[in-house]
Amino acid sequence: MSASRSDALRVAAECRRVLAGNRQEGISAWDGKQYSFTCPSPTTYPFQWWWDSALIAIALLHVDPELAKQEVRCLLQGVQPDGFMPHMLLWEKSAHDRALAEYSIRLAHPFYTATIQPPVIGRTVERIWDATHDVAFAREVLPPLLRHFDWLDEVRDPDRDGLIAIIQPDESGLDASPKYDAAMGVPYDPPSATLPTLQRSMERLFRTYEPLSLTDQRLADAFLFEDVMVNVIYADALRALARVVRETGGDTNLAAGLEVRRKAAARALVEKCWDEIAGAFWDLSGAREERVKVLTFSSLFPLVLPELDRGIAERLVREHFLNEREFWTAYPIPSTAASEPAFDPAWHTNTTWRGPTWMNVNWYLYWGLRAHGFADIARELARRSVAVVAKSGVREFFDPLTGAGQGARDFAWTTLVLDLIAAEGMTGEDDIRAAAAEVPG
């Protein structure tokens, strides 16, 4: 199942085709704003999503760094004066009524949602900085971005422990993950009951929280998660932004303030979420911060943080990541461990994050493995990631046992595999461009 050089070239060409085909450009009915971005999938997901676009911009660096910058510029039009950043921007709303009707979302405004998504953007801006050293771009994007990070700190950390909270499962981007089942009252058996129950529960949640503030106890009882993956992405973004602020000659006090928040989040993750016995991290649910002991990729995600204790990183990798009964499947890594009763590799529940493999997860973990000195394992993960796309195309997610493609077609963040191909030197960057040129329009 390892990928050959010709597989890598073919995959790279397919990724280029998808990134070009998913572009959306025009003038929105939203105050005549101009938009130009890469949507997750033209049929299923024609809008601009916060974490999708931040991930897609990283893939775009392997096509044209100017497109990566454009992706971020378009996205940042969504940051509000108070720092709130919606998880979806509905640029071409009227053209996509059907798609819109299928989502369980709440709007804060006719053209954007009332909910958030993980702030991958810090890593994106760092990668653009590394690739271009464009000081003017960094100075342009940092103020709105930092406003959003202030908002997260001020509004989403009511207990002031350094960890930010989500108030609805979609806010992590991991919508139907079984780690939320208990809080949402969702069964995994029979699989046909999972999605309808989740949708009803989501509607109930929206009705509950609309009139409440984040500090209202009723909200904490309804759904309040300090999610490990979200907080790892948050801490990683703070590290990345502090670095970009420093290296672009920004205010050193500002950079130091971001570092203080990063350290607080990273420390709280270990103090509150690390389970020494299980050798895994657990999300915290509700005001009482109950540990949710459902084994998903989130439990391993602190590997992404370079400062994670060496002993903890070793245990995550040896006891779980490389465990064939949990995560080291033929096409790793499953979003939910194969050992969980809710594990649904073949997508029988018809909903997401309950087993299938996603490229954004592999991408983050690839770099985390490398940061902790597991270069060989990272290389094998990259090989298998290329192999699954070579086998099944640029799909939304994949069966972790068979590699079958599932969900949307031409799914844009799956093109992050370009970054793995480049990092492993599976083809040269010139080869990637040449292969793309051979693809018929």
Residues near ligand GLC (CB under 6 A) are: 40, 45, 49, 51-52, 173, 175, 352
What six digits make up the tokens of 28? 């929105």
CA 48 to chain centre: 14
CA distance 406 to 394: 10
Of 45 and 327, CB closest to ligand GLC:
45
> Pairing relation of β-strands 225-226 and 274-275?
unpaired
Angle (deg, nearest 10), helices 228-247 and 252-268: 160
As measured in angstroms, the least distance from the Cβ of 91 to ligand GLC is 14
Residue closest to ligand GLC when measured from CB atoms: 173
Query: Of the two residues 45 and 209, which places its CB atom closer to ligand GLC in the complex?
Result: 45
The answer to whether 291 and 275 are in contact (CB under 8 A) is yes
By beta-carbon proximity to ligand GLC, the closer residue of 137 and 301 is 301
Bond prior to 158 in cis (omega within 30° of 0): no
Among 306, 187, 192, 301, CA closest to 238: 306
Q: Which is nearer to ligand GLC, 52 or 126 (CB)?
A: 52
Comparing CB distances to ligand GLC, the nearer of 173 and 302 is 173
* Least Cβ distance, residue 22 to ligand GLC (angstroms): 11
Among residues 55 and 303, whose Cβ is nearest to ligand GLC?
55
What distance in Å separates the CA atoms of residue 291 and residue 307, rounded to the nearest whole number? Answer: 23
- Closest distance between ligand GLC and the C-beta of residue 41, in Å? 7
Residue number with CB closer to ligand GLC (84 or 137):
84
Min CB(232)–ligand GLC separation in Å: 15
Among residues 115 and 299, whose Cβ is nearest to ligand GLC? Answer: 115
Angle, to 10 degrees, between the axis of helix 252-268 and the axis of helix 135-155?
A: 50
Nearest distance from C-beta of residue 322 to ligand GLC, angstroms: 26
- For residue 290, give both structure tokens: 């109950």
Are 420 and 385 spatial neighbours (Cβ–Cβ below 8 Å)? yes
Instruction: Using the minimum distance from each CB to ligand GLC, give the nearer residue, 326 or 396.
Output: 396
**Burial letters for 150-186: b for 16+ Cβ neighbours within 10 Å, e otherwise?**
ebbbebbbbeebbbbbbbbbbbbbbbbbbbbbebbeb
Residue 408 identity: A
Minimum gap (Å) between residue 372 Cβ and ligand GLC: 26
Considering the complex, what minimum distance in angstroms separates the CB of residue 175 from ligand GLC?
4
> What order of strands is seen across the sheet that includes strand 112-113?
48-49, 88-89, 112-113, 107-109
CB 384 → ligand GLC: shortest distance, Å?
22
Shortest distance in whole angstroms from residue 171 CB to ligand GLC: 10
Output 53 or 77, the one with its CB closest to ligand GLC: 53
Q: From the CB of 390, what's the least distance to ligand GLC, in Å?
A: 22
Cβ 409 to ligand GLC shortest distance, Å: 12
Closest to 425 measured CA to CA, from 63, 5, 6, 58 = 5
Nearer to ligand GLC, 304 or 432 (CB): 304
